[in-house]
């Protein structure tokens, strides 16, 4: 059975019917990206993903990466698609053409990423991290630094990473011990050890550019004293030629549960005292600068988790249509009744519609966040720019945290549809489940995403981004109320939105009270209910559009549009009542998690 990675009809629906991305071409910035051009780009990406990248997924998982004498070899099958990826100029799709980018809308680039990550996201991490590292240099680098590094990175000739984590400084980045000492020539001598570095060492390219967080001698403790540095694997001379090895040594690669095709490295910087770096941006501003990359990376991680879920759903759907097992429930007593495809069994259909609803809602959410970024770039009104930037800020922890939580659930359901075969390596479902799991942990664990939503985003700009988000939801409610057949869905969703507003007020007040610990113990449940309401919003938005097209639709499109309405029906009537129960529980203010003594946890 051929593995599937993304539903083209659904991709087109979100791009052209929900977000109407082609209209961005009315702005000078995106003038060349009309609907026809967008469709050609997505088609080319889909073909490349299926023909060149997807075949490497299982092979890369089985072969993994190998470390020998400080050098890492990636799976051999990665080399050809990487070179083709470079030739296609896919790495910097939405970046400035001055530095080798294609200047396309972020939403279109995300649709391309949907296919690429669905094909093999362990492979795509080498490019994804490079893009993020390049953005740091583009945003904070000097002209000389941009000239020296940026075009080589955006072309994929060199790759990049992100060096934050240390053995004693994971989520608490401020505890890092890597040091930087200024040299007479303006460079810095870097010394320290970093762990869990994705793509930290490999043989796909000749040079790797590491953005490194370190503390300059005498700088303040904690995050206030952290600076950001450009540390190449091979030193880059002022004329752009490669110099000596820069004392960045891979001391180990992790044996992981998933993403075996990506090298997760431990790196020793300056163990021989010969590691140099360039200061990137200002002294002691490293954390605020790094957040530019981390926000982009968090949306990418949401896409990685989602891509696993999308593939798992489509695999499960095809398997359920083909796998013959058992009689139809209505014919169980007929000894002559034939066995039927398992998609006829009610419990299998329950799993499939649940997976379908989440996958569709997650795709719309991720694309919408990218669309907001496009609107920031194309709007002439400062107030509108601020509105869309605020929506990005408040939705980022949802797009990373909630999406990856639910993506893992979808992958688990996808394995369940296959039954015992889903647990066997011959089939793709178990790898998708393994690969998906890390997305809940890296780029800030989902607990940290929940704390970000509660502690930073809920009260940001006096709550305006949250109010703008609720305003967008209310626009959808009004449209659904005016659409025949969706009135009841709209009413149920409206109650959930109002309840979420009540919970948000309660959580904000509690976080500012003596019960702050109890508030943050409920931060993840708050992220969950926020995500559920956002999913319901996306699905109702989709259903409203589908209902308008259904009567005049051709047979194939009619089935698709009917499916959109049924997804909203299922989520709003089967999932949202559970969400309401969770919101009631949050308002109950249970403090058991913070009141229980350490001894009372037991275990001794």
Residues identified as active-site: 443
d(CA 45, CA 91): 12
d(CA 288, CA 280): 12
d(CA 473, CA 492): 13
CA angle 284, 288, 294 (to 5 degrees): 135
The DSSP line for 91-117 is: TTTTS-GGGT-----HHHHHHHHHHHH
Give the three-class secondary structure for 485: coil
* Residue 154 · residue 95 · CB < 8 Å: yes
**Pair of tokens at residue 121:** 């996201």
* Residue 149 · residue 277 · CB < 8 Å: no
d(CA 260, CA 264): 9
Closest CA to 528 of 478, 583, 479, 565: 583
d(CA 438, CA 430): 14
Buried/exposed code over 261-273 (b: 16+ C-beta within 10 A; e: otherwise): bbbbbbbbbbeee
Closest CA to 278 of 142, 138, 379, 398: 142
d(CA 127, CA 236): 20
* Residue 260 · residue 435 · CB < 8 Å: no
Block residue for tokens 């991290």: 129
CA angle 62, 66, 67 (to 5 degrees): 160
The DSSP line for 196-241 is: EEET-S-SSSS-EEEEEEEEETTPPSGGGGEEEEEEESEEE-TTS-
């Amino acid at each position: 059975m051929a593995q599937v990675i993304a539903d083209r009809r659904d991709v087109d629906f979100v791009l052209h019917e929900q977000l109407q991305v082609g209209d961005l071409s009315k702005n000078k910035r995106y003038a060349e990206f009309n609907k026809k051009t967008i469709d050609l780009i997505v088609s080319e990406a889909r073909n490349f993903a299926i023909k060149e990248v997807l075949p490497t997924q299982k092979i890369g998982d089985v072969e993994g990466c190998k470390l020998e004498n400080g050098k890492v070899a990636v799976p051999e099958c990665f080399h050809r698609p990487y070179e083709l990826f470079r030739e296609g100029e896919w790495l910097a799709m939405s970046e400035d053409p001055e530095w080798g980018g294609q200047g396309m809308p972020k939403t279109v680039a995300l649709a391309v990423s949907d296919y690429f990550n669905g094909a093999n996201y362990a492979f795509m991490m080498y490019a994804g991290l490079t893009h993020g590292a390049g953005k740091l240099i583009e945003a904070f680098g000097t002209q000389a630094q941009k000239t020296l590094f940026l075009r080589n990175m955006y072309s994929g000739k060199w790759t990049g990473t992100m060096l934050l984590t240390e053995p004693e400084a994971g989520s608490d980045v401020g505890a890092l011990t890597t040091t930087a000492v200024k040299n007479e020539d303006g460079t810095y001598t870097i010394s320290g050890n970093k762990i869990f570095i994705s793509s930290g060492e490999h043989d796909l390219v000749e040079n790797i550019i590491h953005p490194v967080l370190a503390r300059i001698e005498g700088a303040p403790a904690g995050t206030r004293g952290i600076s950001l540095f450009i540390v190449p694997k091979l030193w880059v001379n002022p004329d752009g030629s490669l110099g000596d090895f820069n004392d960045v040594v891979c001391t180990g690669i992790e044996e992981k549960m998933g993403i075996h095709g990506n090298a997760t490295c431990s790196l020793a910087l300056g163990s021989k005292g010969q590691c140099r770096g360039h200061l990137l941006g200002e002294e002691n501003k490293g954390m605020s600068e790094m957040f530019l990359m981390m926000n982009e990376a968090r949306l990418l991680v949401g896409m990685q988790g989602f891509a696993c879920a999308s593939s798992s759903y489509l695999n499960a759907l095809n398997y359920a249509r083909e796998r013959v097992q058992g009689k139809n429930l209505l014919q169980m007593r007929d000894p002559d009744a034939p066995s039927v495809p398992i998609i006829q069994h009610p419990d299998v259909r329950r799993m499939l519609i649940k997976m379908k609803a989440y996958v569709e809602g997650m795709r719309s959410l991720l694309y919408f966040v990218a669309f907001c970024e496009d609107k920031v770039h194309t709007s002439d009104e400062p107030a509108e720019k601020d509105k869309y930037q605020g929506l990005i800020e408040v939705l980022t922890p949802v797009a990373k945290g909630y999406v990856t939580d639910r993506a893992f659930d979808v992958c688990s359901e996808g394995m369940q549809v296959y039954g015992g075969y889903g647990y066997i390596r011959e089939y793709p479902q178990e790898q998708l489940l393994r690969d998906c799991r890390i997305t809940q942990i890296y780029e800030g664990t989902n607990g940290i995403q929940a704390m970000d939503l509660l502690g930073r985003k809920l009260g940001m700009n006096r709550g305006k981004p949250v109010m703008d988000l609720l305003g967008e939801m209310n626009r959808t409610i009004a449209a659904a109320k005016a659409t025949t057949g969706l009135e009841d869905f709209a009413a149920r969703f409206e109650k959930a939105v109002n309840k979420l507003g009540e919970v948000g007020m309660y959580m904000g007040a509690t976080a500012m009270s003596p019960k702050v610990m109890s508030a943050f113990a409920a931060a993840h449940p708050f992220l969950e209910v926020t995500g559920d309401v956002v999913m319901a919003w996306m699905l109702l938005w989709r259903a409203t559009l589908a209902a308008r097209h259904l009567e005049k639709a051709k047979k194939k499109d009619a089935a698709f549009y009917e499916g959109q309405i049924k997804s909203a029906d299922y989520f709003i009537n089967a999932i949202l009542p559970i969400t309401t129960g969770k919101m009631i529980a949050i308002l109950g203010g249970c403090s058991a998690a913070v009141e229980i003594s350490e001894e009372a946890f037991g275990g001794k």
